[in-house]
Each structure stands twice: as C-alpha cells, then as structure tokens.
Amino acid sequence: MADRKRKVCVVTGSRAEYGLLYWLLRGIQAEPSLQLQLVVTGMHLSPQFGMTVNQIEADGFAADAKVDMQLTGDTPKALTRSMGLGLVGLADAFESLQPDIVVVLGDRYEIFAVAQAAMVARIPIAHIHGGELTEGAIDDAIRHAITKMAHLHFVAAEEYRKRVIQLGEAADRVWNVGAPGLDAIRKLTLLDRAALSKELEFDVTRPFFLVTYHPVTLAAADEGAEPLFRALETFADHVFVITGVNADTGHEGIRQQTVAFAKAYPGRVLVRASLGQLRYLSAMAHADAVIGNSSSGLIEAPALKVPTVNIGERQRGRLRPPSVIDVENDTNEITAAIKKALNPEFRDALRSAESIFGDGFATEKMIEVLRDHPLKGILRKHFHDQ
C-alpha cells in the first residue's frame, strides 16, 4: 500500500547510547510516515548495570523486543558468549518485526551483533557516529566494521564524514548531522543545583566533579581507576558524583575500586549505575570538571563550557575541543590537569569556544533522511575508491 508507514527499528544496548538516541526516538514517533520499532538489549536488561530498561519504559517507550545477552562476566570469553547470545536473539527479533531499516549508534560489541544480524537478514542499516577513532579500545575496529555493513551514515563532524567516505562509502549516503548528544542540551531544561541535589539525594550545591571511568580494552596493563582515585583524594574541598562502569572486559576490577573509594569517603561520594539523561547533563553543567575517559567529556561537556580531564588512551584519535585536557593514567598528571581545569583563566577562555560537533539539530536532519531516502536497491553497495 502506498500509505504504509516505513518501519524504523532502533536498537539500544546501553544507558549512554540510549541518552543519545532519546530525541531521535521521539522524532520517529512524531513523524506520521514512520513507525517506530524499539529493540532493547545489552546492559539495559542487566540488574548489575542498573536495569535501565525500566527507565526506557518510564519514558513512555514500549520495547517491541527484548534481547537478553546475559552479561554475567567481564572476561573475553564471557563477552564473546554474550555477543553470540545477542546475535541469536536479534535474528529472532528481526524475523518477527520485519523492519524496513535498522538504526544503530556507535561502536559497542552489542551493536556489532545488531549490525551482523541485520546484514544477514538483508535489512538496510543506518549508522550514527561513524568515522571516529578511539585507538585505545576494541570499539575502534567495531565502529569501522559497522560502517562497512551500513548503508546510510550520520556523522558528527566533517572530518568524520571524510573518513567514512575514505572507507569506500558513497558520498551521497553520508551526512554530517552533528552529534545527537547536543540535541538534548538544546531541548532540555536542566535542573538547578538545588533540584539536582533533591533528585540525587546528595548535596551538589557543594563543589563537585562528575567522574566516569571505563576499561581501556586494548591496554596491555591497565591500572584501572586507581590512579584517578588517588588524584581525587587530594581535592578535599570537593565531592564526587561517579557514574557506573560499562560492561567491557575488565569492568569488575574498576567497579571494586569505585566501591572501595566510596567506602573510604562516606558522605562525599555518590555512585550511580545510571543517572538518566536529564540528571547526567544537569550534573555535567554544574560540575567543576568532567573527569575520566567517557566520550561525553569530549562532546557534551564542551558544549556546556565545562572542562574535561580525559585520562589515558580510550578516546585517543577523537577530535579535541579546547576544553579537553589529555593526560596519561598517572596520579600526578591527573592531579595537575584537574588543577588546570579549576584555573579561572582556563575556564574563562572556554566561554567563547564554538562547538565542533554541530548545532543541536541532528534529530531533525536524521528524521528527514530516514523518512525520504529511497531504500529500493540500497543493499547493493559499491566500494568507491578515492
């Protein structure tokens, strides 16, 4: 039928990626010619990582399929088994839902399973945040592999657009829409300090740092977060809001280090598996600095004019706004970088810095493509030599 809605299946596997997809999900829901299908997998279905499927449902989204990957370990074997379970479950989900196109974001191993299942099922794939580099993590190879399996590409900066084309993709199927994380900053009314303190049941009217540290999956010998926590100990005037580690290889050691740090400083440390988008961005806006190795420190924090202390190799290769201070995973370097982030002159210089990741209208640009781009014959790709 000519008036049949195009079925757009969005798959989400982690709290961070769901936050970036939130406004796209809303936009698909609101578009009369599109039908949203939502598949929830990965960390969302794990109590250890906050069972964030509950937040998705509380936001008003119904999961058309839930694919449990049984994230019970942090070894390479456990991760690989989870990918296999995810691949089986996603095959069933796609056979049942029969989407016209699958939308994925990023570079995590659960999203790799999504792309494989969609490719074999001959379903076109739209990929968000391709063309980037994270040389300290296995995500780097996964991201580029997904690019080669995908058919439509939504990138966050012009340099990333050029890299996707360099990988042999057709230039007219690669759009520089900007980073979707900036859409939330534009659309949301962030909480003030008093309201955020009430939401968190933790006093952030005091000076505080927002901290997130994930495993560096390609490091030969990673100390985890121990050097970071030793550095934080020296800032006695601050309290700490720490978000949970993700489900990468080696996450358990970092989780134990975080628990030990919180026990050592009762009343000064809040640890949450997931803050949710509004609370996380509000905390970021009020924090004296964002510290750790999360990509949000390179994308969302600069848009909020908040300094970032970026630790180690995990984000090596990404574009760097001037608000980002790069350091090795070394206590002395981290301490010095935090002091630099607190320097009034450094902070003042950030106020006039422009975003390098778009204008906060990524959702609208992606919706237009998902609605209007022809899908007939799209599965047959040609490698475009430069």
pLDDT, tens digit, for every residue of 42-81?
Answer: 989 988 878 889 999 999 999 999 999 887 777 888 889 9
Residue 30: pLDDT band (50, 70, 90) is very high
pLDDT at residue 218, rounded to an integer: 59
Q: Residue 221 above 60 pLDDT? A: no
pTM of the model: 0.86
Same domain, yes or no: 368 and 227: no
252, 286: one domain: yes
Compute CA distances 99 → 8, 94, 173, 233, whole Å: 6, 7, 20, 51
- Residue 377, domain member (yes or no): no
Q: Does residue 76 lie in a domain region? A: yes
E-strand spans in 75-116? Answer: 101-105
Q: Which amino acid is at 150?
A: A
**Number of folded domains that form the chain:** 2
- The DSSP result for 316-372, as a single string, is TTS---TTEEEE-S-HHHHHHHHHHHH-HHHHHHHTTPPPSS--S-HHHHHHHHHHH
Q: What is the pLDDT at residue 1?
A: 44
Whether residues 66 and 31 share a domain: the answer is: yes
Q: What is the DSSP letter of 296?
A: G
Greater confidence (32 vs 385) lies with 32
Does 380 map to a domain? no
How many angstroms separate the CA atoms of 109 and 271, rounded? 25
Tell me how many degrees the CA angle 24-136-134 measures, rounded to the nearest 5: 35
Query: Which residues fall within 8 angstroms of residue 186, CB to CB, at 6 or more apart?
Result: 360, 361
Q: What is the pLDDT of residues 165-218, one digit of tens each?
A: 999 999 999 999 999 999 999 999 999 999 999 999 999 999 999 999 987 755
Which CATH number does the domain housing residue 81 bear?
Answer: 3.40.50.2000
Neighbours of 282 (CB within 10 A): 24
Q: Which residue has the higher pLDDT, 219 or 159?
A: 159
Residue-averaged pLDDT of the chain:
92
Q: How far apart are CA 56 and CA 41, in angstroms?
A: 12
Q: Which domain holds residue 226?
A: 191-350
Q: Are residues 315 and 368 in the same domain?
A: no
> Is residue 276 scored above 70 in pLDDT?
yes
Tell me if 145 sits within 8 A of 118, measured CB to CB.
no
Q: Are residues 171 and 195 in the same domain?
A: no
Query: Across residues 228-247, what is the average pLDDT?
Result: 90
Same domain, 30 and 172: yes
- Best CA proximity match to 189, nearest among 259, 90, 125, 277: 277
**CA 92/CA 215 separation, integer angstroms:** 31
Query: Residues 320-359: pLDDT tens digits?
Result: 899 999 999 999 999 999 999 999 999 999 988 888 999 9
Assign 263 to helix, strand or coil.
helix
Q: What are phi and psi of 58, to 5 degrees?
A: -65, -30
**Residue 223 pLDDT exceeds 70:** no
Highest mean pLDDT among 35-39, 242-246, 310-314: 35-39
Kindly list the distances between the CA atom of residue 37 and the CA atoms of 147, 355, 358, 374, in Å, as whole numbers in the listed order. Answer: 22, 32, 27, 19
Average pLDDT over residues 73-94: 90
* Diameter of the chain measured on Cα atoms: 66
Give the CA distances from residue 297 to residues 192, 197, 294, 319, in Å, rounded to whole numbers and listed in that order: 20, 22, 6, 12
Q: Is the pLDDT of residue 382 over 80?
A: yes
Percent of the chain as helix, strand, coil, to the nearest 5 = 45, 15, 40
Shared domain for 287 and 214, answered yes or no, is yes
111, two tokens: 């999203």
162 and 88 co-located in one domain:
yes
68/151 same-domain check: yes
